[in-house]
Amino acid sequence: MKLLEFPHSHYCEKARWALDYKGVPFQAVALLPGLHRITVRKYAPDTSVPVLLSDGEGVQGSSEIIDYLDRKFPLHSLTPVDPDQRQACLEIERSMDTRLGENIRRVLYDRLLAYPEFIRHCFTHPMPGVKQFIFRLFYPVLRNKIYQIYVVSPAKVEQSRREFDAAMSELEQTVKQGQYLVGDQFTRADLSVASMLSLLVMPAEHPFPWRGIPDPQTRLFYDAYRDHPVSNWVRKMYREHRLRKG
C-alpha cells in the first residue's frame, strides 16, 4: 500500500496513524504541495491528500481511509460496533475535522505564510534538492493560492480563532469526564481529534521533525493552549496509542 501525503498535514497524520495503529505496512509518498495535483488526480476525483493506494484503488480522504481500513482489516477496529457509539464517533470526527482541522489551518497559514523557510521545511521534507528549488521558484504564486483557498480574509481568521476556541472548550468538558471521547476504548474519534491538534501540540511521537514557530504572534497562540486540558489529553493519546514503526 502507498499513502500519498503531505508529511506535515494533520489530515495525513490521521490516515498514517490509522495505518500504524492497525499495523498495516505502507509506503508514505510525500508530495510537493502544488505539484501534488498531477499525481493525485491520476488516482482520485479530487486533488486533496491523503490518498491511500491499495489493490489498484485510490481511497481519498482521511475518514474514507479509516472506513476502508476497518473493512479490510477488522482487527483493532477504530469504529465501534455499537450503533450509538459508532454514530457518536462519526459525529465527533466529522465535526472536529472542520472545527479544529480547518480553523487551525487558517489561523496558522494566516501568519506563517510570511515565513518561507518555515513553510519550505514543512512542504519539502524529506524531498531532494530539486524539489526545494521548485518550491523556492513557485512560492510567491503558491503563497497567494494558499491564502485565497485556506485563509481568505482577516475576518475569516478571527471567526476561525473563535470557532477553534469554542471547540476546545467543548472538548474540555468531554475529556474531563473520561479518558476517551466515546465509550471506554480508543476509537477514531480520539484518533481524529488528536491528529487535528497535532499541529498545535506537536507531540514527540508524531513522525514529523517540527521546527520552532518563527512568528511571535503565532507563538502566543501556541502558548495560550500549551497547558490546556485538551492539549494534555492529546499528549496522552499520542503516548498511549501512537504506535510508531521502526
Ligand X SMILES: N[C@@H](CCC(=O)N[C@@H](CS)C(=O)NCC(=O)O)C(=O)O
Binding footprint of ligand X on the chain (CB under 6 A)? 6, 9, 11, 37, 47-50, 61-63, 97
The answer to whether residues 111 and 199 touch, using CB atoms and an 8 Å cutoff, is no
CA distances (Å), origin 234, targets 126, 143, 197, 206: 25, 30, 7, 11
User: At closest approach, how far in Å is the CB of 60 from ligand X?
Assistant: 7
Nearer to ligand X, 146 or 234 (CB): 146
CB count within 10 Å of CB 75 equals 7
CA angle 91, 96, 98 (to 5 degrees): 110
Which residue, 138 or 229, has its beta carbon nearer to ligand X?
138
Complex with ligand X: residue 26 or 177, whichever CB lies closer: 26
Q: Which is nearer to ligand X, 26 or 229 (CB)?
A: 26
Q: At what angle do helices 188-196 and 83-96 cross, to 10 degrees?
A: 10
Which DSSP string do the residues of 112-135 spell out, in sequence order? HTT-HHHHHHHHHTT--HHHHHHH
Report the nearest approach of ligand X to the CB of residue 176 (Å): 27
When the beta carbons of 63 and 231 are compared against ligand X, the nearer one is 63
Helices (H), 83-228: 83-96, 103-112, 116-124, 129-146, 154-177, 188-196, 198-201, 216-226
Select 48 or 187, whichever has its Cβ closest to ligand X: 48
